Amino acid sequence: MANIGDLPEDVLVELFSLVPARELICNCQLVCVLWRDVVNLATVWKRKCQREGFNHEKWDKTIQDWKIFYFLCSLKKNLLKNPCAEESFQFWTLKSNKGDKWKVEDLPGQHGRDFPSPHVCKYFVTSYGQCLKFQLIDLKKEGYWDQLMDEIRPDILVKDWYAARFDCGCRYELCVQLLSADYIVLHKFCPEPVIIEQWSDAEWREISYTFHNYKAGVRHILFEHGGQDTQLWAGWYGCRVTNSSITIEPGGHCREATGQTPALST
């Protein structure tokens, strides 16, 4: 009876494309030289992308390391928890909570507008004193190992949505920092605060920024936003924020394959 090592390479590729990625890296490639070489074939990881529905058509010609591309796709998610206030302030730390303090309201809210996406039903709203809140993301806990962040340095995409009431002006501010393991700031995106005048259109606006080619050593991301109203009215007339997101993007930023297996954290 023939053993599995006698199977043609294309059959092994098909079989390995069905095996969970962590098993391939941590177990299968340790069996023998043949299995190691097949596990590291681009065709295995390209086939896994196809099987699991990762849309790679727009990047197909630029992907140089299908293994890294697969892992980035499989890990991709919003790293910010509770971005749309569905769980009140869970997972957020209130850095500044002045005036009548932060509050959660249902869309569209008084003198407000509906959000462009129907799945967003709530928002956080600020008061007449400064209101700021933040989340600190630990990249290793989210599955992004050190070698990946230092050598591949995939794009980090930040998005936030903010709006004012029609009847009151407001101030909106955002600051996102890429931090080292000991919380030294390596890069940051802290644009000038946005001032929305009274009697605005109250439309929801998106702010977006992508970190490219940042320094090695990024281990945490600090996301902070908030603001206040400009009329100093009691109550909750300040800026409204919701649907914030931070994602690690897979497309087009994988460096040339080195033949080495990424060192997955266990």
Quick check: is 232 in a domain? yes
Quick check: is 266 in a domain? no
The reply to whether 142 and 193 lie within a common domain is yes
The predicted pLDDT at position 256 comes to 42
The predicted pLDDT at position 11 comes to 83
Rounded Cα–Cα distance for residues 63 and 181 (Å): 29
The predicted pLDDT at position 261 comes to 43
User: What are the residue ranges in the chain where pLDDT is below 50?
Assistant: 1, 252, 255-263, 265-266
Quick check: is 181 in a domain? yes
Quick check: is 182 in a domain? yes
The reply to whether 37 and 115 lie within a common domain is no
Quick check: is 45 in a domain? yes
Neighbour-count burial for 50-88, b at 16+ CB within 10 Å, e otherwise: eeeebebeebeeebebbbbbbbbbbbeeebbeebbbeee
Domain total of the chain: 2
Domain end call among 42, 75, 108: 75
**Listed residue (23, 20, 60, 14) closest to 41, CA to CA:** 14
CATH of the domain at 38: 1.20.1280.50
Quick check: is 69 in a domain? yes
The reply to whether 164 and 202 lie within a common domain is yes
pTM of the model: 0.87
State how far Cα 192 lies from the chain centre.
22
Quick check: is 263 in a domain? no
CB 185 within 8 A of CB 179: yes
Q: Which residues contact 169 (CB under 8 A, 6 or more apart)?
A: 195, 196, 197, 198, 200, 229, 230, 231
Quick check: is 222 in a domain? yes
The predicted pLDDT at position 258 comes to 39
- The amino acid occupying position 7 is L
The reply to whether 62 and 113 lie within a common domain is no
The reply to whether 157 and 119 lie within a common domain is yes
The reply to whether 125 and 193 lie within a common domain is yes
The reply to whether 70 and 103 lie within a common domain is no
The reply to whether 216 and 105 lie within a common domain is yes
The reply to whether 117 and 169 lie within a common domain is yes
Domain end call among 75, 101, 123: 75
CATH of the domain at 164: 2.60.120.260
What is the span of the domain harbouring residue 135? 93-249
The reply to whether 100 and 49 lie within a common domain is no
Three-class SS of residue 255? Answer: coil
The reply to whether 203 and 101 lie within a common domain is yes
The predicted pLDDT at position 58 comes to 59
The reply to whether 170 and 203 lie within a common domain is yes
